[in-house]
Structure formats: structure tokens, C-alpha cells
Structure 1
Amino acid sequence: MTISSVELLKNLSEADGVSGYEKEIRAILVSYLKSTGKITSDKLGCLICEKKGSSSGPVVMLAAHMDEIGFMVKHITADGFIKFLTLGGWFTQVLPAKRVKVKGAKGDLFGVIGSKPPHLMTAEEAKKPLTLDNLFIDIGASSKKEAEQFGVRVGDAVVPVTEFREMHNKNILLGKAFDDRVGCAVMVKVLENLKKEKHANTVNGVATVQEEVGSRGGITGTFTVNPDVAIVLECRIANDFPGVEKHDLYSSLGKGVQITFCDPGMIP
């Protein structure tokens, strides 16, 4: 299936797939990749698409994680509000008023993250940063029983809701889960293009799981494929915005890809 890059990224960005709950995004990636190579999975759930070359090696792995940060239902209060855990790293202060979707047993339930309004806070409370204990999800239920009747269960995944948009500058896109659905889109396009090319290397596109909670799929996927060369297609934070000094500027939007030559885990 050949698809425009923007439409591909839109479909991947809007798909649900928080860490440990990657079923929906995996199915979408399979639909794009099944015509480009042999589809398999490892035991953790990583999706592997193998495109054979004219020789047995070297084996190349293109890796991009398909999971996104999100939440999990921890508790339902007597009044029908949902207390939750984070899956992956969140800056708690951006969560109030965020729209979310609970992946309930009877279907998706839309809600919003709430907190005690500032109008009702004491002066001391207003000075303190919000913590998860201060937050809840409101799905419109009036009791725990009603929330359970809606299909909410402890352990259900909760996904951020953000519509994909082209901004007024059509080269700038707005959406969720670009980390790392952009990498997944690049992987799909590379494997699509390889269908038209003769190549010696066997190339494995690997969409990994549970990266946001410890790069778990990156480990199992690598052991499964056992590549000679691995290219990780990952997002990096752009920091070309107010508050960043020029000497700290290392990444600007629209200035091309970054090739990381040093990180906290490796000095070449």
C-alpha cells in the first residue's frame, strides 16, 4: 500500500497504542508492511518485517518504537472519578484539562483530566506544583457502579486525544505520539521503496513495544533479529524556542535529521 507521507503520519499519530497496549497501532503497521516483507513478532509483541536481500548478510535492523506515553486506570472513586497511573514520562503540570480516551471493556470512553480548581485552593495549595494525587479523570459517571457499567476496569489503558493537523505553514504538523510514530513512518517508507530496489542486505523493519517504560522491546527485538547493523529511528526534542540560550541550541525544527554520536549510555 503506497500512501502519502502526511496521510501515513496522520494515521499513525491518531492511532491508540500506549506502552503495553499496542494492539491497534500494530494492526495499522501490519496493513502497511505486509506487502513489503515477511511479518513476524517476537514474544514481547514487537512487529518485525523482514525484506530479504540477494545475500544472507550483513543483516540491517531499522528500529522505531510504536508505543506512546499514556495512562492506566488505577482506581475508581465512589463518585465515579478515575484515578490513574502514568505510562512513560509526563510533566504533570501539562495534564489538567487534557482530553483522554479510556479503552474500556465496552468501547472507548472520552473524558478529561481534572483537578481542584484554583478558585477553591488555599494560598498555600496554589503555590505547590500539581502531583498525580491531585488529578483525576472525569468520564461523566456519577458513581463507581455507573463507571463500571460504562465498561471501566482497573488496568484499562488511557490514551491522550489530540487531532492531527497541518498548521498554517504546511511544513509544520501538529499531533500526538510523533515520538515515535515519525520513526515508524520513516521505516514504512524505506521498506516501501526497497520493494523497487535490488539490494544485497537483508533488512528488518522492527516496530518495538514498551520503549516508553524502559526500552523493553528494543532489547527483545534486537535479540530476535540479531542484526549486524542497527539504525534507530527516534525523535529528538527541538529546542529552538524562547528561553534557550544560543550556546545550548542543538536542534532546530526543519533543519534536517540529527545523528547522535554520544548519549548517556554510550561514548564511541
Structure 2
Amino acid sequence: MTTNPADSSVMTYLRRLVELTGPSGSEEDVVRRVAEFARPYADSTEIDAFGNVIAIRRAAQEGARQCIISAHMDEIGFRVRKIEADGFLRLEKVGGSDDRILPAQRVWVRTRTDRLLGVIGTKSAHLLGDADRTSVVPYAQLYVDIGARSAAEVDGMGIAIGDPVGFVGDLAELGKGSGRYTAHALDDRAGCALLLTLLERLHQESPPVTLIAVFSVQEEVGLRGVEALARHLQGDVALAIDMTAADDTPEIAGHTLRLGAGPTIKVMDFSTLAHPAIRRGLLGAAGRADLNVQHEILKGIGTDAGALQYLGKGVPTGAVSVTNRYTHSPVEVLDQADLEGAVELIHQFLLALPDMPLTFLD
């Protein structure tokens, strides 16, 4: 794995994962790379029929507790819906992108054998009328310019109806020495990088619990990958690792989730109410590691925890999030310290899990 000398392990993984294009249902390249990275550190690695990667690091002792931790590999994006006679591509959304930000974005169109650069077209500034300046163009009216002059040229490039389309955006630091990085698909390749880092750490020691690391697909379209797994996976505890929306920018009043203020322990979202034993355990882990943490109450978001809570007869479930500015855009931003803090938080949680009370009542 090529590394940047300034990168920690989690940032190295993140850099390699955001290079890829993998909208929901088209995660093949991400699945291959995650499985490649996980195999050296797992006792077993499986790719199921849905595309989920399940990497297991077994505990040193038989009968130890099992903890399922999930992070999703997919990103929001599009599919090619129509190829126009003049060579422009029309799109269908996959996941929750914002129509306001779509014009003038660079995108990758992934074919069976290649990845081709295109741009989402926008009317030239010199041609704008008054109505254009105050309106949002619905995504169904947008098009991708792939450089083709005709549908035949599009076909010659190997592009077909249904091909996945995703934003362009490699990992890059903002400013100089800020420790804040931008890329597309930080949601949730950052969570995948975190989970790979945990597997790497636990390879170097005898883990006190069995870690079932799940890298899931199709989270952005309804938690579908983990919902399929939840029907047969067995575990004592479940966690989701995901991003959450920072509200610390100038256009938002009443800041509650900030970059650089530490990893976030979920209280509730629209998909789950975190189990009190898991929240207590995570807060205890934060105390032992001397970590600042934030508390997440955000009804406009959902994570794999919403499906994991239904494992078996129901298991104690929670989530750890990393704050993320400009979510579901090509310029998402995270703070490296928050991501590294989340690695330490969950590691400490796992070390304490063998003796952790898991009852609902304290």
C-alpha cells in the first residue's frame, strides 16, 4: 500500500479508499480494495452475495463476547439513465444528493472496463437570464458532458445505460497544516478506514472479544446491505461507524456538532435510539483514553445501527460518528484528530467489553 509519510494508518487507508468510485449497488472496486486490505489482519474474510465484506478477528479465548462493527462502503451518486442522440448523458440519482450543488461538477463515469471523466453541464454565465440566476435546476434536467458528439461515440467509449456515476475528489488537506481534509465519499470511507485500522491493531495483540467487521453496501439507499446480514449474524453488541453533519459553519446558528471537538457518541437519529449500556460503555472508554467526545442528536440521519439493532432477538446497539462538513457533496471535510480519536475510542471500548454490563438498566 502506497503511503504518505505524514499519514497515520487510518489516513493512509482513507486516502486509498476515496480514490475509488462506488455508488450504492456499484461498490465493486471498493469491495475489492477493502477485502485486499482486511485479509492480512483477519482470521477469515468473506464477500457475501450482496457485496458486504465480513472480516472476523477471533478472540483469544473460546466463548468470548462478539462485537459487530459496521461501516458502509457505498457513496451517493448516479446511474446513466439515458444517452441522448447528441452524446449527452442523463442521470438518475442514487442516494440523497442536493440538486443545488450538481451543476459544473466533475464526475467519473465507470464502465465495465474503464473510468471516464465527465462534467455535469451548466449554462454559461454569459447566457443566463434573470430566472436562471434565482432557480435550482432539477437533477432530471441536468446532463453529463463526456466529450462525445453523438450516441455512437458514447457507445464507442463503452458507456451503457445503468453505468454508475460518482463525484471526483481525492483526499487533500485544506490550507497548510490544518489537519482538515476534503474529499468526496468521506461518508463513509472514513468509517471503513477506521475499521481497517482496528483490524490492524487487533492483529498485533490477542483481542479480548471477537470482532466481526462488516463493510456494508447500499447503506445510502436504506441500510440494505446490513439489513440482509442482520437476519443471520450473531453478536452480543453492535456498533455502526459513520459520519455526521457538522453544523459549525457561518450559515448555521446554534452550533452543536463541531469539527475538531472529538468523536461523536450517538444518542439518537431517525433509525435508532442508542442503547444506554453502549452509551455508558463508550463514555467510560472516552474517560479512560482522556478523549473529548460530542453527543449526537440528529433526526435527519440514519446509520447501519438502525438495522443492526434487530440482530437475533435484539442486541445492545450504538454508533460512533465523525463530524463532517458539507455532507453528501464532492467537498466533504473532516478533522484528522476526530477520526484518530474515534479509532482510540472504539479500541478502548473493545478492550473493556468483556466485563461491560450490557443490561438496559444501570
How big is each residue's C-alpha offset from its partner over 1:194-226, in whole Å with a ceiling of 9 and x where there is no partner?
Answer: 112223321111000001111101212333422
For residues 94 and 131 of structure 1, do their structure 2 counterparts lie closer, same or farther at Cα, with a shift above 3 Å needed?
same
How big is each residue's C-alpha offset from its partner over 1:46-75, in whole Å with a ceiling of 9 and x where there is no partner?
Answer: 000011111234211110000111110000
Match of 1:43? 49
Q: Partners in 1 of 2:257 and 2:263 — Cα distance?
A: 9
Match of 2:15? 10
What letter matches 1:96 in structure 2? P
Superposed displacement of residue 176, structure 1:
1.1
What letter matches 2:191 in structure 1? G
Q: Does 2:71 align with 1:84? A: no
Whether contact under 8 Å (1:115, 1:134) holds in the other structure is: no
In structure 1, which of residues 27, 36, 44 is the aligned counterpart of residue 32 of structure 2? 27
What letter matches 1:206 in structure 2? V
What letter matches 1:138 in structure 2? D
Question: What is the SS of the residue equivalent to 1:217?
Answer: helix
Match of 2:163? 156
Q: Partners in 2 of 1:2 and 1:145 — Cα distance?
A: 39
Q: Partners in 2 of 1:31 and 1:105 — Cα distance?
A: 20
Question: What is the SS of the residue equivalent to 2:162?
Answer: coil
Whether contact under 8 Å (2:92, 2:140) holds in the other structure is: no
Q: Does 2:241 align with 1:254? A: no
Matches within 5 A, 1:1-268: 4-37=9-42, 38-53=44-59, 54-167=61-174, 168-246=176-254, 249-267=255-273
Superposed displacement of residue 106, structure 1:
4.5
Q: What is the TM-score when the length of structure 1 is the normalising length?
A: 0.93
Superposed displacement of residue 239, structure 1:
1.1
How big is each residue's C-alpha offset from its partner over 1:97-145, in whole Å with a ceiling of 9 and x where there is no partner?
Answer: 1101111244221110013335434433443321013210001000111
Question: What is the SS of the residue equivalent to 2:239?
Answer: strand
Question: What is the aligned residue count?
Answer: 266
Q: Partners in 2 of 1:252 and 1:134 — Cα distance?
A: 35
Bigger relative contact order, structure 1 or 2, given CA contacts below 8 A and separation 6+?
1
What letter matches 2:159 in structure 1? V
Question: What is the SS of the residue equivalent to 1:189?
Answer: helix
4+ residue segments displaced more than 6 Å: none
For residues 131 and 118 of structure 1, do their structure 2 counterparts lie closer, same or farther at Cα, with a shift above 3 Å needed?
farther
Superposed displacement of residue 8, structure 1:
1.4
Structural RMSD (CA): 1.8
Q: Partners in 2 of 1:69 and 1:205 — Cα distance?
A: 22
Between the two proteins, what is the percent identity of the paired residues? 33
Q: What is the TM-score when the length of structure 2 is the normalising length?
A: 0.70
What letter matches 1:203 in structure 2? L
For residues 193 and 106 of structure 1, do their structure 2 counterparts lie closer, same or farther at Cα, with a shift above 3 Å needed?
closer
Question: What is the SS of the residue equivalent to 1:265?
Answer: coil
Q: Partners in 2 of 1:31 and 1:170 — Cα distance?
A: 31
Question: Structure 1: 5+ residue runs without aligned partners?
Answer: none
Superposed displacement of residue 253, structure 1:
0.4
Q: Partners in 1 of 2:39 and 2:16 — Cα distance?
A: 17
How big is each residue's C-alpha offset from its partner over 1:28-56, in whole Å with a ceiling of 9 and x where there is no partner?
Answer: 11121101110012321100001111123
Q: Partners in 2 of 1:24 and 1:5 — Cα distance?
A: 19
